A and B are shown apart, each in its own frame.
Chain A
Amino acid sequence: MSGPETPTATTADAGAGRSVRKPAPAWRVALGQVGAYLGRHQSLTIVLGLAITAAALPLIVLLPPLNGFGTQKDFVGGFADAGVFVLLAIGLNVVVGFAGLLDLGYAAFFAIGAYTYAYGASPFSGLDIPFWPMLLVGALVAAMFGVLLGAPTLRLRGDYLAIVTLGFGEIVPVVFLNADKYTNGTNGIVGLAQPSLYGIMGVDSFGFTNPWPYFVTVVAIIAVAFIFLYRLQDSRIGRAWVAIREDELAAASMGINTVTTKLLAFSIGASTSGLAGVFFASKLSIVSPDQFGFTVSFTVLAMVVLGGMGNIWGVAVGAFVVYEIQSQGLKQLGSFVQGLHLPTLTLGPLSLDIGSINFINFQYLLFGLALVLMMLLRPEGLFPSRRRRSELHESPEEAAESNVELVQA
């Protein structure tokens, strides 16, 4: 991307410039070759990247100041929970980021996945189907509900779709709450079976005390989902999604069946959510309707928006960071501020004691601020996909930049 040069410079220095350029050092050549190899083998890159991340995370928490906040075991358990949200976020990313359909009832599919596992492996239903096939069953059932909801509603315009999904997201927990003959109502279904490896690698039932098998399992599930979604993104379907997102009318006139394609995005998003639900239910060993309210849907949406709609890695990182801030960061901030001993503010019947503030209460304020500021200042998210960024900032400079990345990738 060299700019236009003055004629004198090109004629005088062309030969000199070429001879002066030093050969690249060997390590850079090797790195370049590795990079090129990994670039050609995307799935391998994903597996390696996730493996390195998963190996590094439990080690990072041993370093100060993180080791002061909890034991490694607690952190690993937290990472396993964060993995659930990573799954949810990359699933929602298919719907919102790829296909541009705003789904505000995403937690409904999460709930459906979780309850599917509860029916498959709990004393309540009397069945005891192992965890691993139930993962698939949960994903399929959630996908089926995705199709059921999507088929009539996907003809709607974007914001109407948002409202319908919001309504659906509200109805599903209400149904699980009120159909207590089948769902045990408010109390939920308890005593769900733990996953088991049947002694392979010395792991029998996962149990409650040891978070490691869950952590490894969720990383493995995420890896599979990543490979699947990356391949899908680069496929004909992935391109069709982007086309629909950009201009539905143009996409339809290019021969894309918009309803089927949108339905596919919807059901794939739902199935990822279903996977997350099965895992979540098996880890907690209990499902109840209040775990799947609209706050879950909105939290996941915030994760996707912050991470960068359309970029799988970005969304995953966004989900992880938001989850950790939510579960760890705010707690630590609270104990920090408590130590400052600030005075109490009073205004009529209202009073505000800053020292006693529980910062976890502020998480939705922070989400809200983050969503608003993000949309105003950086609508492409923290880790944008190239295409999104070039759409949202159409300056020639950035377009050139994204071209460079395109070449490097």
Chain B
Amino acid sequence: MSVKLNTRQVGDVNVIDVAGRITLGEGSSALRDTIREMVGKGQKKILLNLGEVSYIDSSGIGELVSGFTTVTNQGGQLRLLNLTKRVKDLLQITKLYTVFDVHEDEAAAIRAFV
């Protein structure tokens, strides 16, 4: 299964529910396009729900970083929700875990946006 993205709005926060594989090619470009489209519309509070992500490679990690810098450079915020053990391990060994604001509870994550 490739990546599947579903977007929804909770208050002024845009939640992207990501499922499947974020890998080089379709998976990572779909995520990139969705984040850039949101930022282009001025939607700069983005919560990436990665709870259903089964696989992520170095390209996918790069897209998370790229999304983070794109949103941050536009004065917005990008937070992560529901990391699987696999994604969490990868972010830890690449020292990116502390770069992102990571949450396990959606309501708390939504409240964290200012």
- A is bound by B: no
Interface residues of B (CB under 8 A from A): none
